[in-house]
Amino acid sequence: MEIKENYSLKKHNTFGVDVKAKLFCEAQNEEELWELYSNSKYDGIPKYVIGGGSNILFTQDYDGLIIKNNLKGKKIISEDENSVLIKVAAGEVWDNFVKYCVDNNYYGIENLSLIPGNVGAAPIQNIGAYGVEIKNVFNSLSGINLDKKEFEELGKAGCKFGYRDSIFKNEYRGKFIVTSVVLRLSKIKDLHLEYPSLKSSLQNIPQENITSRMVRKRVIAIRKSKLPDPKFLGNAGSFFKNPVVDYSKIEEIQKDYPDLPFYKFEDESYKIPAGWLIERCGWKGKRIGNVGCYEKQALIIVNYGGAEGKEILQFTNDIGISVKSKFDIELVSEVNII
């Protein structure tokens, strides 16, 4: 492995923030990752593993070693007439893998098309979109437990999945490196078409004629219509989680906003779109310096060019203060702040 010094991370985070890592390297396999964490010469050096850099906001230079997880490869572990079990390396690009599955008529993740980032980040975030979460098809994952200094495999229960949440954002935060993920996908047509915008885009097509390829195409079109391409406008996708509240909060807000959109989440809880709350606080389309709230989707915070991470963080903090003041709801970031 080549370890580079004073290395710019601008191309390694989708916000396009120009910070530097004291040290930087790319690990191509599990052995190289293990070397970085087991060799005594790297002891005492802070380390942080990145993938596609699509869910990170760097607020300052990193005084340690940034490791880019470049592990590649996928293979079918087993299959029968109903399903297929696929193992995918953490460094594979997530959307490339979704395309592979759709092309091979493996059902279950077509709704998760065009989500940025790599496979290894998918279970950490429990990524979800258009009515589907990765936990729905998750079987297990493997990686390095940094506390135990050994390889470990975790099943679904061990990952403690929640709404955009998992054990890797809590007890295992900074203590586990995902090296591969195993998903169980259906070989029998099984589409999830309930999400309003997706359902609307397919309403004129008989359900029996809808294919996973068609769903993927529509999801990509919807995402592109409201989400900026980070190649041209720095962003990390949805910055905030949709708040989960009980029905009393829904009724409270409806007194002033009878048009409040909300969705049943679990038994006695409901989701309110964070973008709706942000828009009602006047932030949609607003720009301060080089940072702004995207004009087509208030959940997206954008770097118009040259913004520092601290500027972006301050902008998002101000949004959170506004929403708390107006609706008494705490917004929680989906993005990892470094």
pLDDT band of 93, cuts 50, 70, 90: very high
**Within this chain, do residues 19 and 48 fall inside the same structural domain, yes or no?**
yes
Query: Is 80 exceeded by the pLDDT of residue 176?
Result: yes
pLDDT for position 278 = 98
pLDDT (0 to 100) of residue 56: 94
Same domain, 273 and 326: yes
pLDDT (tens digit per residue) in 22-57: 999 999 999 999 989 888 888 889 999 998 898 899
Per-residue pLDDT band for 196 (boundaries 50, 70, 90) equals confident
Last residue of a domain, one of 225, 246, 267: 225
C-alpha–C-alpha distance, residues 248 and 252, integer Å: 6
Q: What is the CATH number of the domain that holds 126?
A: 3.30.465.10
The answer to whether residues 131 and 208 belong to one domain is yes
Task: Give the model confidence (pLDDT) of 224-268 as tens digits.
Answer: 988 898 889 999 989 999 999 999 999 999 999 999 999 888 778
b/e code 121-130 from CB counts within 10 Å (16+ = b): bbbbbbbbbb
Task: Give the pLDDT mean for 67-91.
Answer: 96
For 327, the enclosing helix (H) or strand (E) is helix 309-327
Give the per-residue pLDDT at 252: 96
What is the CATH classification number for the domain harbouring 311?
3.90.78.10
238 has catalytic annotation: yes
Q: Which one of 140, 142, 238, 333 is the catalytic residue?
A: 238
Summarised one tens digit per residue, pLDDT across range 119-160 is: 999 999 999 999 899 999 999 999 999 988 899 999 999 999
Mean pLDDT in residue range 157-172: 92
**pLDDT more than 70, % of the chain:** 100
Query: Structural domain of residue 208, as residue ranges?
Result: 74-225
334 is catalytic: yes
User: Which of 225, 249, 281 is the endpoint of a domain?
Assistant: 225
Last residue of a domain, one of 194, 225, 256: 225
Confidence of residue 313 (pLDDT cuts 50, 70, 90): very high
| Residues 260 and 305 placed together within one structural domain of the fold | yes
Tell me if 55 sits within 8 A of 335, measured CB to CB.
yes
Check whether residue 118 and residue 218 sit in a common domain. Answer: yes
pLDDT tier at 178, thresholds 50, 70, 90: very high
Query: Residue 39: its pLDDT value, please?
Result: 83
pTM here is: 0.87
Based on the fold, state whether residues 131 and 21 are members of the same structural domain.
Answer: no
| Statement to judge: residues 60 and 161 lie in one domain | no
**Annotated catalytic residue within 92, 164, 212, 216:** 164
Does residue 164 have an active-site annotation?
yes
- In this prediction, residues 267-279 reach a mean pLDDT of 92
User: Which residue, among 330, 337, 136, 315, has the nearest Cα to 242 in the 3D structure?
Assistant: 330
Any bridge partners for residue 271, and if so which?
244, 263
Question: Which residues contact residue 304 at a Cβ distance below 8 angstroms, ignoring those fewer than 6 apart?
Answer: 233, 234, 287, 290, 291, 292
Please tell me the predicted confidence (pLDDT) of residue 15.
96
CA distance 240 to 315: 13
Percent of the chain past pLDDT 90, that is, above it, reads: 84
Number of domains in the chain: 3
| 36 and 87 housed in the same domain | no
My answer on whether 78 and 197 are in the same domain is: yes
